[in-house]
Amino acid sequence: MAEATRKLLIATTNPKKCREMGEILKAANLNLELVTLEAFPNAPEVDETGETFMENAHLKALAGVRHTGLTVISDDGGLCIDALDGQPGVKSHRFLGENTSFVEKMTRIFEMMETVTEERRTCRFQCAVVIATAEGQTFECMGVCEGRVGYEMRGQYGFGYDPLFVLPDGRHMAELTPEEKHTLSHRGKALACAVKVLQQLFP
């Protein structure tokens, strides 16, 4: 691609997710100008009607390309709890309503899991990433992080459901520094795959 088009739009309206994606992509030294949706205040709101994380990531990426003509990276992800039949899943952000705080969402999950035994508290974070170009190409990446639902919220880092998610080593996701989280998390793994795609697109 020409030097003039070395721009990549991070298509998310979630500022914490945008910062996390930006940190991971910057650390990869791709020599790209990262642009956010803040630069496009008239960008349309994307209705996340997909039945999977990947479908929603496609919707956001393609909407970004249509509006800006740039190469776009978008993601969709969430928490899937086995004992709750995969909930909150694709509705992770909308669980109990978009305006409900994550502390309230997590408190409700603890209540729903009150009688669930330790061995049945398995869950995973999943993250689907889609890269779409103005030329009509799309690329998919997926990242998964296995864990368990804890019994309390712990940690001051991260966001979303990180405080309730217990990693195999016993730490809660929100206890990891950003640098540690990027190497272990679902988003970190999906973006490691995406970096390889971007290296091909922007040699």
| Interval 49-87: pLDDT, tens | 999 999 999 999 999 999 999 999 999 999 999 999 999
- pLDDT grade for 25, boundaries at 50, 70 and 90: very high
Sheet holding 7-10, edge to edge: 33-36, 7-10, 71-81, 122-132, 138-149, 165-166
Catalytic residue check, 162: no
| Interval 163-187: pLDDT, tens | 999 999 999 999 999 999 999 999 9
**pLDDT score of 4 more than 80:** no
pTM score of the predicted model: 0.94
**pLDDT score of 1 more than 60:** no
The pLDDT assigned to 5 comes to 82
User: At what angle are helices 15-27 and 186-201 packed, to 10 degrees?
Assistant: 50
Catalytic residue among 47, 76, 85, 162: 76
The pLDDT assigned to 3 comes to 42
| Mean pLDDT computed over every residue of the chain | 96
